[in-house]
């Protein structure tokens, strides 16, 4: 593991998230990127006075940096611009304006150098040769990376072992299950040991167990020495929250927010719902003995006692007061859980905001 | 520079891939060999109709079977030189594999050259098969310098490959409906002297016969027949040779320029992988 200076480590869900220092080197720099897909043959159509569709603005002035070793999530609805952005970074599409640098190489000027730094695993099954085996497919791509055959074969064997694909290595790609195809796509992205990984929904077709292993693997790639930088798109927001150091929310081609999952959730609301499981007290006791302050509580009887739920603002004294009250009256707290706004809530709030502003501008017109 | 160093490895990668794909369709290969044998046999019987009728003015056509087989073998090769480049792009686009290939540190011209390599291997084999079947089963004899014939073959293939690059550029932007393929595909068989001497066109088709003069296969075919059938040497065939060199000097840089523009346009439009 490279030195991270003043790194701090926190635990979120099942993943230990390492907070990167501000001075960590930038692996991907996206600088004021815009992409408008032009109307094909617009001038010709205009000359013949034929109707043509307007140009499509897929990405508008997007700027962000991804630091080395960071797992960076990109979320948004279908058509939000995530794929366009990923493809611009992967040099498959040229931006209309702005620049993307990958480890200091420009995606337009030094596209080959950029491609030698990245591995992309997409959700497209057709990106393999269906009549070739998994092994033959990977060997072909390894040769395109310029790897000698001996190195390629060792690397492929290692990747097959890592992704538990040994048994299907000699089966034709077309005969593989969707999950195995997906794993093979990620294995291919890792073939040349890239320092930057672009993963487009890598767990989409995996069963829960395989998805968990994939997440573990992705997390381990960012921890290895030297660490891989991972740009990750997913519609599974819980997965993004668990895995990513930072998340960018993109809506209708615009970057709406960018921060850690924790800070992003706070953008929606700073309140949370607290659930306390309490033993030794009944609903009747609470309603009879407790004072006015518990009027906003929801009390539900359970087998061992009651479940108390209430809303609080983060940092207020409501939780502390509740715990004191329960203890004073002979209750025992068995568990405490808090329910915070999710990234989905945030995504929904951005979408609602967008729809409102569109409605307002529509009314003005 | 690095791309150039890695080119043989990459060409090998595509050749190995295409060989694997090829052996997964064995039946197709055997049927194609049979079809070549069928064509050669048919032409042998047609040539028997002309025994004793061959016009001596057309020295290359004294043995029409030899002229037809040379024509078909060479045309097969020329057409590969022309079409394989555009087909390479189109096939990868249709399979959906172009994007994953282009994600490796390889440039598009290398993809096109390397992925058409197997087509040339096949074309060489089947072109040889036309001549081989004629020689082994029907006593067709070839004289003259095979190395000079090879120079003609390579030169004409390069000229057609330049047109192939234009065709690939067209495929990249317009996806389908390539006018070069139609012009060269139909035009070569009719105007380049594959099945009959081009002199007959001048006598019977008037100004239309001028088309044969702008088609590269006319010169390639004429040169190869002069060498292999009439046994002519370097000096006698210098005229078609120079014509092909001039065509190459004009077409190659032009087609590479057009191709560069087509790639930039496709990347700008985001349509590189669409078909």
Nearest to A112 among B97, B107, B268 (CB): B107
pLDDT at A63 over 80: yes
pLDDT at A289 over 70: yes
* CB atoms near residue A104 (< 10 Å): 13
Nearest to A38 by CA among B149, B269, B193: B269
| Chain B nearest C-alpha distance from A338 (Å) | 44
pLDDT at A10 over 60: no
* pLDDT value of position B35: 94
Nearest to A94 among B3, B13, B267 (CB): B267
- Which residues from chain B sit within 8 angstroms of residue A116, using beta carbons? 105
CA distance B15 to B118: 5
* pLDDT value of position A23: 67
* pLDDT value of position A365: 56
In this prediction the ipTM stands at 0.79
For A:15-54, CB contacts with B below 8 A are 35, 37-38, 40
pLDDT at B161 over 90: no
Nearest to A91 by CA among B179, B266, B96: B266
**Could you tell me if A181 lies within 8 Å of chain B, comparing CB atoms?**
no
* pLDDT value of position A103: 93
The reply to whether residue B105 touches residue A146, judged by beta carbons under 8 angstroms, is yes
Are A19 and A244 in contact by the 8 Å Cβ rule? The answer is no
Average pLDDT score over residue span A265-283: 82
Q: What are phi and psi of A203, to 5 degrees?
A: -110, 15
- Which residues from chain A sit within 8 angstroms of residue B270, using beta carbons? 35, 37, 84, 87, 93
* CB atoms near residue B61 (< 10 Å): 21
Residues B22-65 pLDDT 10s: 888 888 888 999 999 999 999 999 988 877 766 667 777 878 89
The reply to whether residue A124 touches residue B99, judged by beta carbons under 8 angstroms, is yes
Nearest to B103 among A37, A90, A146 (CB): A90
Poorest-pLDDT segment among A35-49, A299-313, B120-134: A35-49
pLDDT at A49 over 80: no
The four Cα atoms B256, B261, B263, B264 give a dihedral, to 10 degrees, of 140
**Could you tell me if A90 lies within 8 Å of chain B, comparing CB atoms?**
yes
- The tally of CA atoms less than 13 A away on the side-chain side of residue B264 is 9
**Secondary structure string (H, E, C) spanning chain A:** CCCCCCCEEEEECCEEEEECCCCCCEEEEEEEEEEEECCCCHHHHHHCCCCCCCCEEEEEEEEEEEECCCEEEEECCCCCCHHHHHHHHCCCCCCCEEEEEECCEECCCCHHHHHCCEEEECCCHHHCCCCCEHHHHHHHHHHHCCCCHHHHHHHHHHHHHHCCCHHHCCCEHHHCCHHHHHHHHHHHHCCCCCCEEEEECCCCCCCHHHHHHHHHHHHHHHHCCCCCEEEEECCCHHHHHHHCCEEEEEECCEEEEEECHHHHHHHHCCEEEEEEEEECCCHHHHHHHCCHHHCCCEEEECCCEEEEEEEEECCCCHHHHHHHHHHHCCCEEEEEEEECCCHHHHHHHHHHHHHHHHHHHHHHC
* pLDDT value of position B16: 93
- Which residues from chain A sit within 8 angstroms of residue B96, using beta carbons? 124, 126-127
Average pLDDT score over residue span A322-346: 84
pLDDT at B176 over 80: no
CA distance A88 to B250: 35
> pTM for the complete prediction?
0.77
Residue B53, SS3 per DSSP: coil
Nearest to B9 among A94, A113, A146 (CB): A146
């Amino acid at each position: 593991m490279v030195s991270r200076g003043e790194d701090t480590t926190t635990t979120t869900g099942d993943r230990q998230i390492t907070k990167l220092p501000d001075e960590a080197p930038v692996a991907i720099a996206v600088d004021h990127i815009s992409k408008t897909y032009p109307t094909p043959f617009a001038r010709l159509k205009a000359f013949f006075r034929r109707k043509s569709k307007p140009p499509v603005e897929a990405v508008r002035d997007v700027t962000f940096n991804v630091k080395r070793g960071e797992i960076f999530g990109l979320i948004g609805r279908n058509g939000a611009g995530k794929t366009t952005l990923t493809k611009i970074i992967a040099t498959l599409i040229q931006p209309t304006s702005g620049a993307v640098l990958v480890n200091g190489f420009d995606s337009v000027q030094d596209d080959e150098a950029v491609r030698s730094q990245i591995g992309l695993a997409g959700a497209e099954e057709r990106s393999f040769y269906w009549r070739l085996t998994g092994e033959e497919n990977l060997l072909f791509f390894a040769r395109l990376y310029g790897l000698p055959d001996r190195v390629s074969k060792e690397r492929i064997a290692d990747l097959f072992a890592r992704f538990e694909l040994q048994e299907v290595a000699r089966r034709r790609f077309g005969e593989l299950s969707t999950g195995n195809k997906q794993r093979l796509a990620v294995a291919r992205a890792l073939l040349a040991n890239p320092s930057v990984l672009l993963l487009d929904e890598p767990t989409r077709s995996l069963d829960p167990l395989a998805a968990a292993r994939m997440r573990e693997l992705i997390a381990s790639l960012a921890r290895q020495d030297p660490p891989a930088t991972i740009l990750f798109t997913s519609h599974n927001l819980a997965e993004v929250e668990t895995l990513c150091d930072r998340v960018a929310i993109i809506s209708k081609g615009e970057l709406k927010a960018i921060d850690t999952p924790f800070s992003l959730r706070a953008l929606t609301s700073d309140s949370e719902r607290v659930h306390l499981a309490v033993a030794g007290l009944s609903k009747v006791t609470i309603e009879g003995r407790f004072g006015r302050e518990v009027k906003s509580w929801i009390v539900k009887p359970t087998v061992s006692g009651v479940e108390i739920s209430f809303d609080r603002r983060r940092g207020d004294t409501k939780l502390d007061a509740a715990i004191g009250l329960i203890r004073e009256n002979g209750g025992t707290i068995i568990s405490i859980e808090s329910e915070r706004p999710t990234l989905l809530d945030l995504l929904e709030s951005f979408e609602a905001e967008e729809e409102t502003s569109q409605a307002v501008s529509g009314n003005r017109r | 520079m690095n791309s150039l160093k890695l080119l043989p490895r990459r060409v090998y990668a595509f050749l190995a891939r295409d060989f694997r794909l090829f052996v997964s369709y064995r039946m197709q290969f055997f049927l194609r060999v049979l079809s070549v044998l069928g064509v050669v046999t048919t032409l042998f019987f047609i040539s028997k109709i002309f025994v004793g009728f061959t016009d001596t003015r057309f020295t290359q056509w004294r043995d029409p079977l030899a002229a037809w087989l040379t024509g078909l073998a060479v045309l097969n090769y020329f057409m590969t030189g022309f079409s394989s480049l555009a087909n390479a792009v189109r096939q990868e686009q249709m399979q959906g594999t172009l994007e994953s290939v282009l994600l490796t540190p390889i440039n598009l011209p290398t993809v096109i050259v390397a992925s058409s390599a197997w087509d040339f291997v096949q074309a060489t084999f089947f072109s040889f098969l036309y001549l081989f079947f004629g020689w082994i089963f029907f006593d067709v004899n070839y004289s003259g310098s095979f190395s000079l014939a090879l120079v003609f073959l390579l030169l004409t293939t390069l000229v057609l490959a330049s047109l192939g690059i234009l065709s690939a550029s067209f495929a990249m932007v317009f996806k389908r409906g390539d006018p070069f393929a139609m012009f060269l595909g139909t035009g070569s068989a009719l105007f380049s002297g594959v099945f009959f001497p081009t002199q007959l066109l001048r006598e019977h088709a008037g100004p239309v016969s001028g088309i044969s003069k702008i088609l590269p296969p006319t010169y390639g075919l004429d040169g190869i027949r002069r060498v292999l059938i009439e046994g002519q040497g370097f000096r006698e065939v210098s005229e078609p040779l120079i014509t092909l060199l001039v065509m190459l000097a004009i077409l190659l840089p032009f087609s590479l320029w057009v191709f560069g523009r087509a790639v930039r346009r496709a990347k700008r439009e985001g349509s590189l992988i669409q078909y």
